């Protein structure tokens, strides 16, 4: 069925609380139409079976090539190269989130693995979901040695929407894996993060110190970066000497000689002590360092103000602090960075300039969602010492060599704040869902877990809870949790929680001083369903600007629109059916640039039949259309619209999944968009009562945060609007977060300034 025709029939759908389940050419069974909605049952995804973990390992590997290792029965092991084929490599690359394999390697090209050789004589067809479904000799049955370990080379292109939970990036196989700072007893401040102390490295038998002979500030910089701190600072060694000389030290490492740009100590030249000689460090003592935290992790608020972070670089779309798509500001407009040659060195420059440590991961293929604006940089090649990505060598971009599906992103090292220790979830069916419990202490200092009142608990609060739990994005915030196991419930200890959405912990949100909850039972306790990915809707601003016009529409064509509340109040007083309404019309194209499909919250069983246009209402409000004057007051009654959501079209290589016709599933697939043409009924703002002048036109998608998104700051789109009484123009249409603060202020002033000129 032709979508635009269907959309026109459904058109009336841009109304308060409307969902259209299917195209109107289909006749509606009246029984469905009149049936009452049933209560919504538990809306949660079924638990996913644990996927086989696969990783790329060895040296010299890249993010898309390396020795294959599988995690089976609690142990990492390799695959033997006997009978290996490109089809095997396809299956493995697919599993790792790449579109295909370009090759495979034999004879331990990336070095020999350790432990088990899990599979041998593997023969895949190529289409298997996982290597475990391919023919082989069976787990652990092999006559190979590690000299025959197989590797793969994957095409450096991510599967759109790929969830990377099973990809484990191994930083290094050197013996130095983990590093910590041990504060010295007595001098230790209890507060987190720990910024100063003795450097300790983990080795197989525990933690050991580093002999500081020849230790440099560059070494300190590397360790600080690993621990989530952008800079090093001086430390008074004498202060520690006396104490440390009395300690029994175990010097595992010495002669560390970093250049300062390494993202891990293991990448620095260093030497290990021989066993049985580990307590000698002639002329030295254990390395002690001090790091400067970024403003986000700084306790001292005086210092916090002095710390500067870049204002022309930002991270967008990440679930946690220190992760997201890299965006840079040029000529007052934010744009993205292309992932060609994107690596840990460049990513670390970005992390540090934003007040985080070095980079943990340099992500390619828009793994933190896609941007909408310009793409400014390609082939960024930082050396590591730069103060900003803006100082790094880059190539100019052309539209042929980069698309937003290649947007670069980072995961930065952030300091350990221990925030996850004071929150937990219970009662859910998977580890991603449950009633939220927080740890509180009474005046006597006794700590106990307790529930949160479900009243007014919504998506933003759930976002903070999921972030604090380390579980990613909020899929849903639940106000009732009666359907979950309530055998061991605790008392309610928190109520009135109200978050902005960007807090790192619930304790940073507003909440009542004393618990006040009308329905203080566990079944009305706040719950969350968290998710590693989320959708992200954005309106195409340039299309709005290009398609705007005025239509004087005769009243006799507007009966349904009136019934659906698409006209302003004064329409009620008109002399129906004579006369007309003046409508401001434009097209809306809504893209899902996130990492999960956007789906209405309510299932179709709760959609309510609407007689006039013959369609269903479901989600109360999907968009707001408003016209604002210079002081931000709404002058044209914005109507609240709901759509029939579907994939009108998609980026190359992505297939449509949702359609309104024939009771189809509704939603917008990642990488697809839904188009509402300017000539659809109700796709307008009624400006009959508006005087000529300058205004701001605003569209807000998902305004009540009803459906989870990874980023709500890009949900508003605004235009300057000039109306001379006959014609209308839009200028400067842009997404809410696309401009610099300064440019946004200038934009907001536009109506006032021009009003003055006109009058």
Residues near ligand NAG (CB under 6 A): 275-276, 396, 442-444, 446, 485, 487-488, 540, 542-543, 546, 629, 631, 633
120/545 with CB nearer ligand NAG: 545
- Work out how close the CB of 488 gets to ligand NAG at its nearest, in angstroms, rounded to a whole number: 4
226/738 with CB nearer ligand NAG: 738
How far is residue 412's CA from residue 387's CA, in Å, rounded to a whole number? Answer: 16
CA 681 to chain centroid, in Å, comes to 35
74/275 with CB nearer ligand NAG: 275
How far is residue 340's CA from residue 225's CA, in Å, rounded to a whole number? Answer: 24
| HEC sequence for 563-621 | HCCCCCHHHHHCCCCCCEEEEEECCEEEEECCCCCECCCCCHHHCEEECCCCEEECCCC
- Work out how close the CB of 480 gets to ligand NAG at its nearest, in angstroms, rounded to a whole number: 19
38/488 with CB nearer ligand NAG: 488
Query: What is the secondary structure of 218-267 as a DSSP string?
Result: HHHHHHHHHTT-SEEE---HHHHHHHHHTS---EEEE-----S--SSGGG
Helices 217-226 and 344-353: angle between axes, nearest 10 degrees: 90
- Work out how close the CB of 629 gets to ligand NAG at its nearest, in angstroms, rounded to a whole number: 5
27/399 with CB nearer ligand NAG: 399
SS3 96: coil
Strand partners, 648: none
Q: Phi and psi at residue 24, in whole multiples of 5°?
A: -75, -5
- Work out how close the CB of 671 gets to ligand NAG at its nearest, in angstroms, rounded to a whole number: 11
- Work out how close the CB of 731 gets to ligand NAG at its nearest, in angstroms, rounded to a whole number: 15
Strand partners, 77: 70, 116
- Work out how close the CB of 104 gets to ligand NAG at its nearest, in angstroms, rounded to a whole number: 36
How far is residue 40's CA from residue 32's CA, in Å, rounded to a whole number? Answer: 16
Residue in 456, 441, 469 with CA at minimum distance from that of residue 495: 456
98/484 with CB nearer ligand NAG: 484
- Work out how close the CB of 426 gets to ligand NAG at its nearest, in angstroms, rounded to a whole number: 7
276/301 with CB nearer ligand NAG: 276
- Work out how close the CB of 591 gets to ligand NAG at its nearest, in angstroms, rounded to a whole number: 6
171/543 with CB nearer ligand NAG: 543
- Work out how close the CB of 110 gets to ligand NAG at its nearest, in angstroms, rounded to a whole number: 30
Those residues whose C-beta lies under 8 Å from the C-beta of residue 339, and which sit 6 or more positions away, are: 363, 364, 365, 366, 406, 407, 408
30/488 with CB nearer ligand NAG: 488
Q: Phi and psi at residue 468, in whole multiples of 5°?
A: -65, -35
CB count within 10 Å of CB 134 equals 19
């Amino acid at each position: 069925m032709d979508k635009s025709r269907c959309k026109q029939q459904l058109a009336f759908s841009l109304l308060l609380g409307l969902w259209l389940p299917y195209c109107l050419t289909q006749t509606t069974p009246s029984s469905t139409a009149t049936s009452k909605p049933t209560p919504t049952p538990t809306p949660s995804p079924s638990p996913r079976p644990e996927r086989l973990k696969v990783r790329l390992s060895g040296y010299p590997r890249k993010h898309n090539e390396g020795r294959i290792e599988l995690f089976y029965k609690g142990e990492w092991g390799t695959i033997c190269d006997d009978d290996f084929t490109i089809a095997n490599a396809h299956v493995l690359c697919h599993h790792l989130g790449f579109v295909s394999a370009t090759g495979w390697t034999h004879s331990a090209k990336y070095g020999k693995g350790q432990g088990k050789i899990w599979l041998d004589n593997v023969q895949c067809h190529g289409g298997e979901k996982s290597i475990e479904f391919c023919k082989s000799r069976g787990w652990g049955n092999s006559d190979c040695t590690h000299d025959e370990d197989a590797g793969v080379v994957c095409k450096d292109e991510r599967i759109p929407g790929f969830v990377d939970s099973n990809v484990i990036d191994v930083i290094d196989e050197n013996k130095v894996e983990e590093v910590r700072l041990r504060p010295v007893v007595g001098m230790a401040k209890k507060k987190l993060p720990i910024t100063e102390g003795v450097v300790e490295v983990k080795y197989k038998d525990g933690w050991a110190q580093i002999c500081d002979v020849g230790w440099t500030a560059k070494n300190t910089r590397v360790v600080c970066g690993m621990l989530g701190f952008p800079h090093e600072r001086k430390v008074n060694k004498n202060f520690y000497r006396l104490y440390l000389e009395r300690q029994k030290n175990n010097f595992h490492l010495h002669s560390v000689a970093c250049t300062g740009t390494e993202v891990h100590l293991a990448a620095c030249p260093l030497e290990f002590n021989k066993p049985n000689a580990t307590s000698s460090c002639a002329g030295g003592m254990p390395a002690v360092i001090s790091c400067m935290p970024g403003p986000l992790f700084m306790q001292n608020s005086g210092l916090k103000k002095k710390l500067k972070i870049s204002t022309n670089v930002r991270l967008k779309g990440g679930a946690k602090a220190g992760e997201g798509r890299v965006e840079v500001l040029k000529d007052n407009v934010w744009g993205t960075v292309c992932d060609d040659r994107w690596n840990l060195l460049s990513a670390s420059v970005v992390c540090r300039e934003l007040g985080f440590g070095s980079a943990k991961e340099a992500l390619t293929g828009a793994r933190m969602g896609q941007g909408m604006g310009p793409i400014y940089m390609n082939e960024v090649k930082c050396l590591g010492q730069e103060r900003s990505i803006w100082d790094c060598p880059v190539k100019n971009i052309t539209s042929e060599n980069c698309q937003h599906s290649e947007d670069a992103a980072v995961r930065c090292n952030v300091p350990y704040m221990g925030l996850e220790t004071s929150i937990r979830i219970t009662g859910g069916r998977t580890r991603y869902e449950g009633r939220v419990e927080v740890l509180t202490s009474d005046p006597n200092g006794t700590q106990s877990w307790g529930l949160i009142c479900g009243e007014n608990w919504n998506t933003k609060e759930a976002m903070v809870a999921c972030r604090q739990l380390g579980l990613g994005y909020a899929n849903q915030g639940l106000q009732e949790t009666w359907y979950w196991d309530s055998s061991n419930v605790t008392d309610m200890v928190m109520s009135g929680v109200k978050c902005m959405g960007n807090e790192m912990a619930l304790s940073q949100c507003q909440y009542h001083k004393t618990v006040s909850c009308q329905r203080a039972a566990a079944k009305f306790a706040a719950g969350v369903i968290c998710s590693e990915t989320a959708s992200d809707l954005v309106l195409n601003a340039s299309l709005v600007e290009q398609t705007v016009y005025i239509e004087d529409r005769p009243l006799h064509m507007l009966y349904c629109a009136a019934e659906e509340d698409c006209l302003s109040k004064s329409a009620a007083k008109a002399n129906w059916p004579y006369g007309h309404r003046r409508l401001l019309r434009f097209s809306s194209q809504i893209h899902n640039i996130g990492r999960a499909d956007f789906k209405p919250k309510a299932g179709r069983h709760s959609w309510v039949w609407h007689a006039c246009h013959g369609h269903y209402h479901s989600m109360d409000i999907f968009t707001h259309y408003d016209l604002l004057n210079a002081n931000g007051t709404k002058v044209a009654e914005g109507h609240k619209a709901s759509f029939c959501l579907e994939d009108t079209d998609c980026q190359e290589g992505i297939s449509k999944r949702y359609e309104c016709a024939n009771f189809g599933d509704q939603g917008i697939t990642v990488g697809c968009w839904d188009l509402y043409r300017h000539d659809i009924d109700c796709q307008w703002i009624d400006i009959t009562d508006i005087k000529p002048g300058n205004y701001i036109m605003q569209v807000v998608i998902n305004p009540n945060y009803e459906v989870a998104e990874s980023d709500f700051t890009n949900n508003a789109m605004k235009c300057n609007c000039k109306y001379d009484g006959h014609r209308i123009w839009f200028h400067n249409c842009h997404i809410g977060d696309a401009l610099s603060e300064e440019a946004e202020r200038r934009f907001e002033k536009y109506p006032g300034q021009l009003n003055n000129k006109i009058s």
